[in-house]
Amino acid sequence: MTIHAQILKRNGKNEFAILSYKDFLNVQEILDNYEDLKALRSAKIKEKNSKTVSLKEAKKILRLS
């Protein structure tokens, strides 16, 4: 992804980046996806030693089949 930002300077130093709304939405979506990925990885680590059941067994327990 290429971002086309306009950089505003203050006292000769980069101070702000202005993005098109489309670029802003793309960055926001990427950040949201990254946060979801971090949460998933954390949950996998936390639950790595948890007992699991097969789909067939889960359906039986929940009386879905």
pLDDT tens series, the chain, 65 aa: 888 999 999 999 999 999 999 999 999 999 999 999 999 999 999 999 999 999 999 999 999 97
Indicate the SS3 state at residue 6: strand
What's the rounded Cα separation, in Å, for the pair 26 and 33?
11
Largest CA distance in the chain: 70
Q: Which residue type, as a one-letter code, is found at position 10?
A: R
> Which tokens hold the place of 41?
């990885």
Give pLDDT, residue 1.
Answer: 81
What's the rounded Cα separation, in Å, for the pair 49 and 16?
46
